[in-house]
Amino acid sequence: MVLNLPQISGIQQIGIGNISVYDTWEWYRKHLGLNVPVFDEAAEAALMLPYTAGEPRSRHAVLALNLNGGGGAEIWQYTSRVAQPANFDIQCGDLGIYISKYKSLDIEKSYEALKDITLLSDIQNNAAGKKHFYAQDPFGNIIELVEADHWFNTDRFHCGGVYGATIGVSDMDKSLAFYKKVLNYDVVLGDEVGHFDALAGLPGGKGRFRRVIISHSKQRVGPFSQLLGHSELELFQSLDREGTPIFKDRMWGDLGYIHLCFDIVGMNELRDKCAQEGCPFQVDSGDFDMGEAAGHFAYIEDPDGALIEFVETHKLPIMKKLGWYKNLKKKRDPFKPLPKWMLQAMGLNKVSKPVN
């Protein structure tokens, strides 16, 4: 099979704006198994000026993974200002990234493991026939656990990492075309219209919606494709009210889900593709090296302004205590997954007790 650039390796992470990076990470480490840090750094976000009121902003961020597979969470805190909540009550159908999806090894065990937090639904079947439920973390973010059958490991923890996201949209057909053409989500797993019992416990969830679950027919390729694995997105459109942008009058990095990030191969080719599809890069870092992380990142907007990040990774921290990093820029097949043992070795960085 001949592969062309660009290629998407999978969902790398979802960004979570918060006011206490270590408190937030501790909760996600304990409850969702995000216990392997890829980086833990304080720096200045100097390139996100279109989304930070034209000024560089200081921040502290941790990217953490669950080695059962799936994407990670980039837990992101401003240090130069206090992250702000929305000035309205965010509801189902508002525009942007509304829910993060995590893959579950055993949905009943996941439900039991999360019963001490705010559960927003019982276990039910979604439009794709998979069992799932909704809950809320202590910081006000809605999460969804969905049963899945694509795994990198299957240890004793009840779940894996990020499986996807639910995104509020204003025009379903326009958004479906965007996610298909730009991100290759070309398979519709479920398409339903109506009122849904499973949403009744969510803010605004008693309304009437169109909900479409989408996935990809082709297996993802690239260095991290085995770890990141399969993914799904769900698009929500409110049919009885006009959605409000979740980040209206706020900055990237304020409270909530700030972006959905995809690991990719071929950033230059992706830049051309996005321009051709009418969603040009809004931020383009060029090559960067932040010590523990190095690569190239860029941002685009979906049709309703939700931020989609792309990262082409150049350096992988495998065992930071020993200074062991994998240089991904050296000559190698860019589509070939890294050896499983190498990614497993990242588990030696695992945090097994409360973080600072």
- pLDDT, tens only, 140-158: 999 999 999 899 998 879 9
CB 345 within 8 A of CB 325: no
Ranges of the chain whose pLDDT falls below 70? 1-2, 289-293, 317-325, 330, 356
Hey, where are the domains in the chain?
7-349
Distance CA 222, CA 208 (A): 39
Residues 233-250: tens digit of each pLDDT = 999 999 999 999 999 999
Question: Which DSSP helix (H) or strand (E) runs through 148?
Answer: none
pLDDT at 20: 97
pTM of the model: 0.95
Strands 142-147, 96-104: parallel, antiparallel or unpaired by DSSP?
parallel
Q: Tell the CATH topology of 7-349.
A: 2,3-Dihydroxybiphenyl 1,2-Dioxygenase; domain 1 (3.10.180)
pLDDT at 292: 61
pLDDT at 354: 74
pLDDT at 322: 58
Question: Which amino acid appears at position 72 of this protein?
Answer: G
pLDDT at 175: 98
CB 235 within 8 A of CB 215: no
CB 101 within 8 A of CB 163: yes
Question: Residue 16's beta-bridge partner residues?
Answer: 75, 257
Distance CA 188, CA 176 (A): 9
Cα–Cα nearest to 203, from 255, 234, 154, 168: 168
